[in-house]
Amino acid sequence: MITVKYFAGLKTLAGSEEDRFDLGSETTVRVLSEEIGKRHPELKNLIGGKKVMVSVNHDMASPDSTIKDGDEVALLPPFSGGSM
Amino acid sequence: MDTLTAESKVRIQKEDFSVTDEIEALKKVSRNIGGIAVFLGTGRELSKGKDIAKLHFEHYPVMAERKLAEIREQAIGDFKIIDMSIIHRVGVIDIGENIVLIVAAGEHRKEAFAACEWAIAELKRTTPIWKRETTSQGEVWVTDTP
């Protein structure tokens, strides 16, 4: 199982903090993104856009990055830490 | 405050921090510190013309702490400062309360100022922390970082 975590506004849109996906022993960020879009149509246009980044096991990933069974993926909207 | 370890120099926490205590703790690292630059970010009332009632910060545990540790290590290496502390609060923060603290300690002021300014910009750019503002018109996640 792959765990997918949602943060900030994406969590609100998904209506959940995290999901689990079973995509076999190995897949890619691109394939997982399509599956997330199917489960959460409201996220479809945001995933794969320039603003939302994806991490795999806490490292930034690209659409071609490999995801293995048991990995933790996070969808990261634009950061806004610090103060203005 | 006792002598700081590398882990305690980079923290994400709900509770407030003491600017004075953090500076004093970092000063104990070396007797060669001659200049300390501090950035303190605080919650302000007005944002883009809207009155803010309170702020809420959320972070991605592990990744956010790791990013702050990387920023500290790179600041020490690139700017040749002696040490740095970075503390960011999460949870509900009221107007006027402390949000983020960066303390950069160097032999001289020049590298301390430069490291401090770089570190807060890098934090905002690379660290998975998000801010939600509560206004009279509702709650909104802030998605841009000027």
Q: A10 to chain B, minimum CA–CA distance in Å?
A: 10
A70 in B contact zone (CB under 8 Å): no
Is B1 a member of any domain?
A: no
* CATH code of the domain in which B94 resides: 3.90.1170.40
Domains and CATH numbers, chain A: 2-76 (3.10.20.30)
pTM, rounded to two decimals: 0.92
Residues of chain A found within 8 Å of residue B63, distances taken between Cβ atoms: 55, 58, 74
Q: First CA to last CA across chain A, in angstroms?
A: 39
Classified as helix, coil or strand, B128 is coil
Total structural domains within chain B: 1
Is B120 a member of any domain?
A: yes
Is B2 a member of any domain?
A: no
What does the pLDDT profile of chain B (146 residues) look like in tens digits?
Answer: 556 777 789 999 999 999 999 999 999 999 999 999 999 999 988 877 778 899 999 999 999 999 999 999 999 999 999 999 999 999 999 999 999 999 999 999 999 999 999 999 999 999 999 999 998 888 888 876 54
Is B146 a member of any domain?
A: no
Q: Choose the closest CB to A79 out of B66, B120, B127.
A: B127
ipTM, 2 dp: 0.92
- As a whole number of angstroms, the distance between CA B133 and CA B73 comes to 31
Quick check: A82 and B99 CB within 8 A?
yes
